[in-house]
Copies of this chain bind each other. A is one copy, B any other.
Amino acid sequence: MFSKACEYGLRAATYIALQSLDGRRVSLKEIADKIDSPIAFTAKILQLLSKNNIVESVKGAHGGFEITRTKMDKLKLSEIVNAIDGDSIYAGCGLGLKECNANKPCPVHSKFVDIRNDLREMLENTSLYEMTAGLEVGLTFLKR
């Protein structure tokens, strides 16, 4: 559904948000360790998220990644997914046809539209803060 890069990005952002709630700025090393992702690859993804103003990065000693409470409240998962995977999830035909729309639908067009809309709605309505909510009370886990 999502690329690996996107999965790492979502997990990383969630972990950063969770720690930021406690006022903790976290390092790349800690993030990769806690979300179980390849460290150098995760670094690239974090650079991307930083450039897209999704997380804040601080260079130098005691640097790391963080995100403000206001930001994680406003930020929707769709923005993270979009920064990494683009709009490939929403766009595109289920059968891979270039031109497939309501006027010229492929055989499963309408069925895919519904499912894609549910996915888009979910991503657009879920904030990064919501992602941390379950983690705080131990109901959800970022790593087994």
Per-position 1/0 for A130-144, Cβ under 8 A of B: 111111000111111
A141 and B106 within 8 A (CB): yes
Given contacts A95-B7, A105-B139, A107-B14, contact A89 B1 (CB under 8 A): yes
Closest B residue to A7 using CB positions: B96
Chain A residues within 8 Å of chain B by Cβ, number: 43
Does residue A41 face the partner (Cβ distance < 8 Å to B)? no
A97 nearest CB neighbor, chain B only: B144
Contact with A1, one of B1, B131, B142 (Cβ below 8 angstroms):
B1
A22 close to chain B: CB less than 8 A = no
Chain B residues near A96 (CB, 8 Å)? 2, 4, 7-8, 11
Residue A109 CB within 8 A of the other chain: yes
Q: State whether A105 touches B144 (Cβ < 8 A).
A: no
A140 touches B106 (CB 8 A): yes
Instruction: Tell me whether A107 and B94 are in contact (CB under 8 A).
Output: no
Interface check A111, CB cutoff 8 A = yes
Known: A107-B14, A115-B118. A142 touches B97 (CB 8 A): yes
A-side residues, CB < 8 A to B, are 1-2, 4, 7-8, 10-11, 14, 77, 89, 92, 94-100, 104-109, 111, 114-115, 118-119, 122, 126, 130-135, 139-144
A-B contact list, 25 entries, CB within 8 Å: A1-B89, A1-B94, A2-B96, A4-B96, A7-B94, A7-B95, A10-B94, A11-B97, A97-B141, A97-B143, A98-B144, A99-B144, A105-B139, A106-B140, A106-B141, A106-B142, A107-B133, A107-B134, A107-B140, A108-B126, A108-B131, A111-B122, A115-B115, A115-B122, A118-B118
